[in-house]
Each structure stands twice: as structure tokens, then as C-alpha cells.
Amino acid sequence: MAQRPGPRSARPRRATPRRTTRQATVEPAAKGAAGVRDRLRRDPLLFVACLTGLAFLTWACAMTWWLTGATAPLALALVSVAPAFYLFYLRDA
């Protein structure tokens, strides 16, 4: 190990305060719709994924109704639109 040339300092070294790792504050999980509302606001990917899933469900039910003519798929297609509006309500409220 190479030593520095020259005389050593006579003064003692001061102890430097050690850096403390700052712990992230963890907020308690909100209960009910408030937790979902915050999550939908913060995470746009989750919001789009939920809307995409609902859109696919609506499309699949509508196509089934179109091909078969049964009323149950049509009713499911119409009912599956309501959660999409509820998602927008949760996110904007």
C-alpha cells in the first residue's frame, strides 16, 4: 500500500456522523373504496387494464348476442358497461 509523502497531521480526526438510512414511511392501507380510489389515481396502468378487461367482456357478450340472438349475453353486455362508469367515478371523485 502506498503512503502519502510528507508529514502527518498532528490534529486528531473528528468523528463524522454516520449517515442514517431514511426509512420510507408506510401509510396504513386504506379500507374499502378509498384504497381503490387512491390506487386508480396513482397507477394509470391499473386503470387502463381494468377498462380494457371490461371492454373485452362487453365486446365478447355483445358478439355472443349478435351470433346467437339470445337475450342473456345482451343483458350481460349492457350490465358490464356500468362498472366502467364506476371506475371513472372512483378515479375522479
Q: Is residue 22 part of a domain?
A: no
Tens digits of residue pLDDT in 11-44: 777 776 666 666 655 555 556 667 878 888 888 8
Residue 36 inside a domain? The answer is no
Q: In this structure, is residue 32 part of a structural domain?
A: no
Could you read off the pLDDT of 63-90 as tens digits, one per residue? 999 999 999 999 999 999 999 999 888 8
Residue 74 domain-assigned (yes or no):
yes
Residue 58 lies in a domain: yes
pTM of model > 0.85: no
- Is residue 19, in this structure, part of any structural domain at all? no
Model confidence over 50-60: pLDDT tens digits? 999 999 999 99
Range of the domain at 59: 44-92
**Number of structural domains the chain divides into:** 1
Please report whether residue 75 resides in a domain.
Answer: yes
- Average model confidence (pLDDT) across the chain: 81
The H-assigned helical ranges of 1-93 are 33-42, 44-68, 71-79, 82-92
In whole angstroms, what is the distance from residue 3 CA to residue 11 CA? 18
